[in-house]
Amino acid sequence: MRSSSPTITTTHINMTPRISRLRRISMEASHRISAERALLITDFYKNHQAFGDSTPVQLAKAFRHIMLGKSIYIHPDELIVGERGPEPKATPTYPEITVHSLQDLDILNSREKVWFRVDDETRNAYRDIIIPFWQGRSNRDRIMQAMSPEWKDAYEAGIFTEFMEQRAPGHTVAGNKIYRKGMLDIIEDINQANQALDFLNDPNAFSQAEELKAMRMAAETLIHFANRHADKLTEMSDAEDEPNRKAELEKMAAICRRVPANAPSTFHEALQYYWFVHLGVVTELNPWDSFNPGRLDQHLYPFYKRELEAGTLTRVQAIEMLQAFWIKFNNHPAPPKVGVTALESNTYTDFALINLGGVREDGSDAVNELSYVILDVIEEMRLLQPSSMVQLSKKNPDRFIDQAVKITRTGFGQPSIFNTDAIVQELINQGKDIKDARNGGASGCVETGAFGVESYILTGYFNLPKILEITLYNGMDPRTGKKTGPETGEPASFKTYGELLEAYRKQVEHFVDVKLRGSNIIESIFMEHVPTPFLSLIIDDCVSNGTDYMAGGARYNTNYIQGVGMGTVTDSLTALKLHVYGEKNLSIEEFVGALQQDFNGFEDLRFRLIYKTPKYGNDDDRADDQLRDLFDIYHDAVTGRKSPRGATYRINLLPTTCHVYFGSVTLASADGRKAGLPVSEGISPVQGADTRGPSAVIRSAAKIDHLRTGGTLLNQKFSPSFFKDDEAIRKVSALVKSYFRMDGHHIQFNVVDAATLRDAQKNPERHRDLIVRVAGYSDYFNDLGEDLQEEIIRRTEHEST
Amino acid sequence: MSGIIFNIKKFAVHDGPGIRTTLFLKGCPLRCRWCHNPESWTPEPVSIHRQIRLDGHIHNDSERIGVLTTVEEIMQELERERIIMEESGGGVTLSGGEPLMQPDFSKEILIQSSQAGFHTAIDTSGYADREIFRKIAPYTNLFLYDLKIMDPEEHKKFTGCNNEIILRNFEWLVRQDCEIIVRTPLIRGITDTPDNLEQLLTFLIPYQDTLKQIDFLTCHKMGRSKFEKLGLPYAFSGIDPTPSQSEVTKITSMFRNEGFTVTQS
């Protein structure tokens, strides 16, 4: 052990009183629905303000109507300005994407978890104006009308979910473009692209010209939007008596007049510019994963360094600005979701994931002084949003990972830890340029992307255990009695385990095809009806291609389908393989019968399954061999297929909260899991099945070929006592580094003991600040459903004695 | 070659440096009343019956304690942990039971582990022939050496064995070229008495320069159910054998003040 390593220290940073006030407002503000945006967009279309325009121009005009019509909120304490809604946590809706019914609003208002208050004024606006206009005309209506009966059957059976049903594709991350170019520079690029159009030979030239026109309008809109803030700040400055704040407000007004029109020249301008861009993206549409500055320490460091050297910024001032920036993210809960979409992502978190560390474009160590400063900010702020992660490359110093692990000890689940070297290889495997790969990272939960140049869209979760269930019923869903899959044979006809596996493969392939057909149609709908000229400004090469983000304008285009329940399906197939085809101690009909009875009357079997059958997560190849097979089946069914915008379909393995929903539609499974309970999450072992400690877990998890995915999620729970001293922290760091040497993609630690969680269930009021890692994100324990709370408690505690 | 082991613990973080794999070898000459591995006492495998409650049903289960395992199988298990050992500066620890009750098996594991490049440690009661120590010392990077009770009578009373051989082996071992960490379990009224600790301190002071550190072990609450499962009488029914944290702190400072490196686990 490197006992000579220096002690891991944290420079404790404090919040200034105004940051404390802003933080408190952000934490205490009530989640509520604001009808403002919905009314503005209804007004826009109702009055036919863009009648006759091309679709991108219509959407650009709608964007302008909202951005110039919405109220401007600036709190007297703020340093970074701009709100998505009329005030913190007042959450806009997007009726052109999905229009909430009055019943939806009542559910949002009254549900126990992840609620949004709906006041009478909002409800009336919905009843009288918004619903009458949008009902039957939203994008969701278009999608649902276009889906085939077999797609609907599979969707209702809970075989897969559909991300685009209530939110728009986004799932992308800003690169460094906005720190080099102002909107005026981007408009210049648009003009150049326009000049290069070839109306003589290119049949798409006119549609590209329309798209570029829309982009120009969107860029101008953001400048106007910033100027509205500048005007308000000037007003506030005029009314301010306190000379320091007065000067500060004047300076902020000047910043809002400089950016986003021009490229930023200071640290403060860089943050404010990003924030205006963020607001543009999340106001234009409700894209999944909000929006995300990505490699924040990389983008900001040149400004930080230059200003520190010039003496125009102090470290303390930079920290305060970063803290103010953090609070802005926390003001924005994910747009309200209902139905299955609410189940698959049941959280206020909107998945902006700040990346720190990793490598530079030239492959060198990217950790800088600001990386540590931001880690301190994360620790001090302890906010649900933004999420944060560290990218760990073999080139990064140990101090960096030790510091990150030390923060995870505080128990709010951040930062999670990603393997830069694996991410770069994953991206290169997808055919990306090495520099684009090194500028990439992970966003959302764990998804790999080339930041600033890629559209990588998550299309939905895929219920792997449910498909095994359907296989065991020859294509029928035993929960509903409906034939949803092809007939791949009565299980009794399978003479070998190989035949069972082959039937499962056919079912997976079938449902992947159903899912892809649906996703392709949905993608075409977005290409046709919902271009995003504003987002297209930020992601290269949409401008130079004259093509929208939604239509394949980005340099790289990827679609992901997220597999769920890998642990459950692995253990289930292991049990079938060993008990039915190996030891032959029961027939497959008997086995299926026991599952149908939810093990009632088959208690001994369930006991054997749980206690006497090999399980994934213990570095035991008797189970892990099935994992390898299952990974290949899923991977091969999806990877390489093409979408209408030219994207390549790929897989990743993550659940958000979908493992709870998928479990609820799946009967008892052959691993001993009772009907309705959650399936396993990410690539984590089945809850409680890993009994040989974390080193066996990472060994098992590394048997997945992570480099052929776009991200995997591994969750490990430790009790706080495990991190008691620097030596213990270094052992956890060593565990992480070992996993990454084996090409593991991501690992996160839940640091909390079960007793604390039990107490939080009984006395939620005493644990209002308890944030736990759920799966790819953190959430307030009190905001989780009881089933998720139970599951988190059940996860194996690797308490080492 | 093969021997009997009753557990392989991965991600062991208290049995030497780094993240280790600890092999628990069966058989022990001592009968410590506070033992938390009483199933390790007999050299031959035993069965423990246990009842597991699941869905309101009680399942009778029996667990075999002790499996005949070849050195080759062990080396394969260790090889699985190689990356984790390398990254953490860990290795393999032989524990028990008393690993030196199976001297040839232990020696072979230590030799092959050394050849494979794994850091080796042995957790011993010190109760073994000198000849055995002589044989294994060249392949052992670290000894975790238990010193429990200094008074011969008391030692005999609470562990069933004479401590003379343990102390003489210790004195010999300190003169060899190997690292030693002394491990002393703190058992209320037995090992944590001022008398015993004074004697321990006096005994260790001459070796202060060569001794790496002293580790006081304080977690002994888990022994009871194991004694019951094995049908053995448990000496601490109704008593918590673990001294209070303030007492432990007093003890650790007593040794620290004399210049020893002290840890508590």
Between CA A223 and CA A645 the distance in angstroms is: 30
**Min Cα separation B89/chain A (Å):** 5
- With an 8 Å Cβ cutoff, are A734 and B59 in contact? no
* A357: Cα within 13 Å, side-chain hemisphere: 28
Between CA A275 and CA A81 the distance in angstroms is: 8
Q: Give the model's confidence band at A265: pLDDT under 50 very low, under 70 low, under 90 confident, else very high.
A: very high
Query: How many beta-carbon contacts under 8 Å exist across A and B?
Result: 75
Question: B10: which chain A residues are within 8 Å (Cβ-Cβ)?
Answer: 619, 692-693, 695-696
Among A100, A104, A105, residue whose Cα is nearest residue A130:
A100
**B96's tokens:** 């028990």
Backbone angles phi, psi at A42, to 5 degrees: -65, -45
Percentage with pLDDT > 70 across chain A? 95
Residue A797 pLDDT exceeds 70: no
Residue A767 pLDDT exceeds 70: no
| pLDDT tens column, A15-62 | 999 999 999 999 999 999 999 999 999 999 999 888 899 999 999 999
**A97's tokens:** 């994407």
The interaxial angle of helices A139-146 and A497-529, nearest 10 deg, is: 140
Quick one: A726 exposed, middle or buried, by C-beta within 10 A (0-12, 13-18, 19+)?
middle
**Min Cα separation A233/chain B (Å):** 54
Q: Are strands A746-751 and A416-419 parallel, antiparallel or unpaired?
A: antiparallel
| pLDDT tens column, B76-116 | 999 999 999 999 999 999 999 999 999 999 999 999 999 99
Q: Give the model's confidence band at A778: pLDDT under 50 very low, under 70 low, under 90 confident, else very high.
A: low
Residue A172 identity (one-letter amino acid):
T
Contact A330, A384 (CB under 8 A): yes
Of B10, B13, B54, the CB nearest to A696: B10
Calculate the average pLDDT of chain B.
91
**Predicted local confidence at residue A798, as pLDDT:** 41
Domains present along chain B, CATH in parentheses: 2-264 (3.20.20.70)
Residue A344 pLDDT exceeds 90: no
DSSP H helical ranges for B140-242: 152-159, 164-175, 194-204, 223-229
Percentage with pLDDT > 70 across chain B? 96
Contact B51, B58 (CB under 8 A): yes
Residue A800 pLDDT exceeds 50: no
CA A493 to chain centre: 42
Contact A573/B at CB under 8 A: no
Contact A599, A667 (CB under 8 A): no
Give residue A89's region: left, alpha or beta (phi > 0; psi -120 to 50): left
Between CA A703 and CA A508 the distance in angstroms is: 21
Give the mean pLDDT of A215-224.
98
Question: Hey, CA dihedral for B74, B79, B84, B86, is it positive or negative?
Answer: positive
Question: A731: which chain B residues are within 8 Å (Cβ-Cβ)?
Answer: 13, 18-19, 88
CA A771 to chain centre: 17
- With an 8 Å Cβ cutoff, are B14 and A800 in contact? yes
Give residue A134's region: left, alpha or beta (phi > 0; psi -120 to 50): alpha
Of B13, B81, B86, the CB nearest to A800: B13
In 3-state terms, what secondary structure has residue A760?
helix
| pLDDT tens column, B135-176 | 999 999 999 999 999 999 999 999 999 999 999 999 999 999
In B, residues 36-65, which contact A (CB 8 Å cutoff)? 52, 54-55, 57, 59, 61
- pTM of the predicted model, to two decimals? 0.93
Q: Which secondary-structure segment (H or E) carries A191?
A: helix A183-195
Q: What is the ipTM of this complex?
A: 0.93
Q: Give the model's confidence band at A148: pLDDT under 50 very low, under 70 low, under 90 confident, else very high.
A: very high
Of A606, A693, A741, the CB nearest to B87: A741
- With an 8 Å Cβ cutoff, are B84 and A693 in contact? no
Give the mean pLDDT of A652-661.
93
Among A221, A350, A369, residue whose Cα is nearest residue A304:
A369
Does B97 sit behind a cis peptide bond, omega within 30 degrees of 0 on the bond before it?
yes
Give the mean pLDDT of A645-673.
96
Q: Strands, E, within chain B: which ranges?
A: 2-12, 20-25, 46-54, 57-65, 67-70, 91-96, 119-124, 142-146, 179-185, 213-217, 262-264
Of A1, A607, A619, the CB nearest to B59: A607
Question: A607: which chain B residues are within 8 Å (Cβ-Cβ)?
Answer: 52, 54, 57, 59, 61
- With an 8 Å Cβ cutoff, are B10 and A698 in contact? no
Of B19, B52, B57, the CB nearest to A695: B19
Mutate to test the interface with B, among A599, A731, A742 (most CBs of B within 10 A): A731
Q: Which residues of A are catalytic?
A: 445, 447
B12: closest chain A residue by CA = A800
Q: B124 - beta bridge partners?
A: B145
Give the mean pLDDT of A107-135.
96
Contact A443, A387 (CB under 8 A): no
Among A353, A287, A350, A295, residue whose Cα is nearest residue A713:
A353
Mutate to test the interface with A, among B8, B14, B19, B78 (most CBs of A within 10 A): B19
DSSP H helical ranges for A473-602: 497-529, 533-538, 542-545, 566-576, 588-596
DSSP string for A266-277:
SHHHHHHHHHHH
**Predicted local confidence at residue A127, as pLDDT:** 98
Calculate the average pLDDT of chain A.
93
**Min Cα separation B119/chain A (Å):** 11
**A14's tokens:** 């404090």
Sole residue written with tokens 């940073």: A13
Give the mean pLDDT of A675-680.
94
